[in-house]
Amino acid sequence: MRNKIRCSLFFVCWALMVSFLLFSSGVSFAQDPLVQLKDETLSYFKPLKGKIVSVEGGSFVTDLGAKTGIKKGMRVTVFREGVPFLHPVTKEPMGKVETPAGRAEVEEVRDDGATLKIVSGEAKTDDIIRIPEMKIRILFYQDRSVDWNLGDSYYQLVKDSGRFHMVDTSLDSADDASILAEAKKDNAEAAFILTEKDSEKESQLRLRILWTDDASRLLDAQIKVASTYIKGLRDANPVTAPVSSASDALLFFDLPFSGKLVTAGNFKGDGNQELVIGTSRELRIYTLGASLENLYEIKGSSDDDFLWVDTMDVNGDGRDELVVTSLRGRSVDTTGESMTQTIKDEGRLVSYVYGLKGAEFSLLWKANLFMRVLPPFGLVAQKYEEGGGFEGPVFRISYQSGGFKPGEEIKLPKGINIYDFVYLDGPDGTRYILAYDDSGRLNLYDETGLRIWQSRENYGGFPETFKKTSPTVMVGRGEWSIKDRLFIKNREAFAVKRNPLASMARGLGYKSSEIKALWWTGFSMEENTLIEGISGGLIDYACYGDKLIVLSKPLFGVKPENILKGQSPFGSMLYVYSLAGR
């Protein structure tokens, strides 16, 4: 099983080298075979908007003609206009609410129009058809037959177009049915399937695009790629020594799966803590020693997407419980487009509390709330607004008479939500609130809610950010984020700082990450670097007794032997550092 974890730095170096090779040989960049394949791919997902002029049986005619870019095989969403949508302040009409009514596929294109067959739902004269401008969720499958450098280069070209949200799969070798089943689990609109046939002088790269809902084929394209071209991609791969911070770690593990969450807890009640590593749909519990010994597993459902995990003894039985928050059941939004990672907030939010009973974990409670553990209050929660993120105040959750009950509200400065903050004590015992804002900066608030300090720069952004949905595509509502953890140890606050590859182009990824230690003197905020040189993007981290556990996806944490095989050299890394003496 391979996790195709992509490295944007690789793409930058690849692009520079390929550009040099092409220009030095007098070849136009437009003739690059991967660029041609990318352009062909994008042409089927070009944003369009038109109107239905007539309907007959299971087909209809639209006013979109050949010059608009509409192509045979494209699929569009049919919308029906409803009541007017008013500006929330001026009450002026800004458009009409559009409700998805069906899906249709282009069958014939003419100069003055096109004929489409209805795939699902219905269509009426004067309905609107659209391929929205928002990102389209795609499952990307790269067969073992494909040289990893070649497949990854195409992947990066398509991803960097900004048209798609690319979903990787851990499937290593699979048939179409398995790939499409995986795509459905991930709510992808289509599956991109790459295979390759190679010979001594050239390879044939084949791309098939299949619609997820009915397995029909949108595209089957093949390009010829010279062996020298592929060699150039391999030579451009910036393989270096392992990450520098690995030498300072007490332990280092190369995980065989893509982890995104980490925490620790005493689940057996014996005083020993176990390590929890979470993926999007699974929690794995280990004992931590010279190796990781798998003790238990908690598997979520196929539509789970775990956002947060914490531990504490919630019910007072002397053993920690697991508290997990998940965004479930991602579905088609009001614009009719498949969900992308940045707009998956159309799903239903659920938090679970699991406790160890005998040899396995059992579900003790679940609720449609955000949850986390917040010292000194314990378990706290906040409501979820569908399509909008956090709603209302943060409040306590208590365990009474065998059940979980909502408790008192927690007073916070305006705009601070459940995952944004921790309490930080000053030298005189005064309690302050340290919180991230949406720009990624840290802020310190006094007891009255007045902000008394703000970091000069942001800390690099957050792994989980979502767009708020709107009843019309004409008005944006902003974003909401799951912020990074803030830990407190002996009046020090630990915070993640991510350093982008390029300050003007943060989307390229992160060259390194750090963990900062901050403390408030009563007059100023002092800052020191606790751990530096964590290559790539730090995903999550946890305090584990006198140890710090760091989960990351480094740029240079590679397996060189995989590169020679044309396979992905990247994987999730787990570091264990000592906090003794702090």
DSSP letter (8 states) at residue 336: S
Quick one: CA dihedral 61, 67, 72, 78, positive or negative?
Answer: negative
Of 54, 63, 98, the residue nearest 475 (C-alpha): 98
- Count CB atoms within 10 A of the CB of residue 76: 25
Tokens describing residue 483: 């912020």
Max CA separation in the chain (angstroms): 79
The pLDDT, as a whole number, for residue 409 is 96
Would you mind telling me the total number of residues written for the chain in this entry?
582
- Count CB atoms within 10 A of the CB of residue 400: 9
pLDDT in tens, 552-568: 885 644 545 455 555 55
Q: Phi and psi at residue 110, in whole multiples of 5°?
A: -125, 175
CA distance 536 to 10: 12
The pLDDT, as a whole number, for residue 473 is 52
The pLDDT, as a whole number, for residue 301 is 87
Query: What value does the CA radius of gyration of the chain take, rounded to a whole number of Å?
Result: 26
CA distance 345 to 331: 9
Quick one: CA dihedral 32, 38, 43, 49, positive or negative?
Answer: negative
Of 202, 435, 418, the residue nearest 310 (C-alpha): 418
Kindly give the parts of the chain with pLDDT less than 50.
Answer: 1-30, 238-246, 331-346, 503-508, 556-557, 559, 561
pTM strictly above 0.85: no
DSSP string covering 183-243: HHHTT-SEEEEEEEEE-SSEEEEEEEEEETTT--EEEEEEEEEEHHHHHHHHHH----SSP
Q: Which residue has the tokens 């970091």?
A: 455
Residues 6+ apart with CB under 8 A from 240: 556
Element spanning 245, H or E: none
Q: Within a 13 Å sphere around the CA of 239, how many CA atoms are in the beta-carbon half?
A: 15
Q: Contact at 8 Å (CB) between 222 and 193?
A: no
CA distance 49 to 136: 16
